[in-house]
Amino acid sequence: MIRYVARSAGRAEHLGEGFDHITAGLSEHGDGSGRGLTVRCAVEAPDEGDIATGMDSYRVSNERGFTVYGGVRHVRLRGRTLRVNFEPDAARGLGLDDALVEVTLTVDDESIERLKSGLQRVLWYGRQRSRPVVDVDPTRDELTATVRPPEGAAAAFARWDELRARLGVAVPEDYRWLVETYGAGVYDDFLHVLQPRSRFPAIRLVSSAAAYRERLRAQVESGRVLPHDPGDLLPVATTDDGDVISWLMLPRDTPSRWTLVAGNPGRDEWSSFDGGVVEFLVAVFTRRVRMPFFPEDFPSPAPRLRPYPGVAEARALLRELGVAD
């Protein structure tokens, strides 16, 4: 086994450089030098040229400049210990003396969260036969086992830095993973996760946040007492009954520590949840947590996500209903 300590780790999006791609990686030293591993994938799905040349998978490289496509068998992260198990051919291609690499991560919690979402995003890119077991977060694994992600549902969104600039804060990494894994849709025909980009105004994260805060501030001005400052709330999900699930952005610069609050502008009742949005969905869909204002028949015994219709599908449906030409 190869062992070393990494003092730098995370994820990055590289856009507008001629080849839009996402990387996740770690290195022995804080300046990026020393031993390390980096995995990379394109933002967009592989095209026919990638498939023909065998480049329709993630790319792995190390500090020595060796590169292979695919070849990771298993990735496991527990606490601050990351284990990467390579296929023998991939290990040889990277010039490694052993196929098992164990790295102790001496980085902050936010860096570990970024590394988690990056590994899950990159290592599931491209051809299915090259996808390794990515065991970096049991809660996320439980959600995919409880609510199956639709095939091809996730949108190729990568402009997270742009979203941060628009919101004024970085969103939690589990939300990135949720968007990239499930895409846009309605959970059990009732709950909607707001999206960083959507053709449907009602589920756009940025505009929904502004409208919700404005409504709450108007209620405060009219004399209503709220349990939280509207400026500390950032909506992340809504329901068909008008309920709003929001991040409580405290502390503002540490998204991994944000918790959730749920309320309805038309009611005085509020509920809180001590965890992130993925933990919340797992708790709701496994019925470990029950929001007092959710309907009795939600969730169903077999919860699912129904993706929103595409543009062509929506237009065809409207034509059938006689609403559009």
Q: What is the CATH number of the domain that holds 301?
A: 3.40.1580
Q: Which helix (H) or strand (E) holds 205?
A: helix 205-221
Is 317 part of a structural domain of the chain? Answer: no
Residue 62 and residue 170 in one domain: no
Which residues on neighbouring strands pair with residue 262, listed in sequence order? 245, 271
* Cut 0.85: pTM above it: no
Domain limit, last residue, from 136, 168, 192: 136
Residue 96 and residue 212 in one domain: no
Q: Into how many domains does the chain fold?
A: 2
Q: Work out the burial of residue 297: count CB atoms within 10 Å of its CB; fewer than 13 is exposed, 13-18 middle, 19 or more buried.
A: exposed
- The C-alpha atoms of residue 42 and residue 121 are separated, in whole angstroms, by 10
pLDDT 10s per residue in the chain (325 long)?
A: 999 999 999 999 998 877 899 999 999 999 999 999 999 999 888 888 888 877 889 999 999 999 999 999 999 999 999 999 999 999 999 999 999 999 999 999 999 999 999 999 999 888 877 789 999 999 999 999 999 998 754 556 889 999 999 999 999 999 999 999 999 999 999 999 999 998 888 899 999 999 999 999 999 999 888 999 999 999 999 999 999 999 999 999 999 999 999 998 888 889 999 999 999 999 999 999 999 889 999 999 999 999 987 655 555 544 554 545 4
Residue 125 and residue 166 in one domain: no
Would you say 70 and 57 are in contact if contact means Cβ atoms under 8 Å apart?
Answer: yes
Would you say 46 and 69 are in contact if contact means Cβ atoms under 8 Å apart?
Answer: no
- The C-alpha atoms of residue 108 and residue 8 are separated, in whole angstroms, by 9
List Cα–Cα distances, 295 to 145, 239, 243, 262, in angstroms: 23, 10, 11, 14
Which one, of 33, 61, 56, 35, lies nearest residue 45 by Cα? Answer: 56
Residue 92 and residue 179 in one domain: no
Q: What are phi and psi of 161, to 5 degrees?
A: -65, -40
List Cα–Cα distances, 97 to 8, 77, 106, 315, in angstroms: 23, 22, 24, 57
Residue 103 and residue 194 in one domain: no
Residue 92 and residue 125 in one domain: yes
Residue 295's domain spans which residues? 160-307
Residue 164 and residue 94 in one domain: no
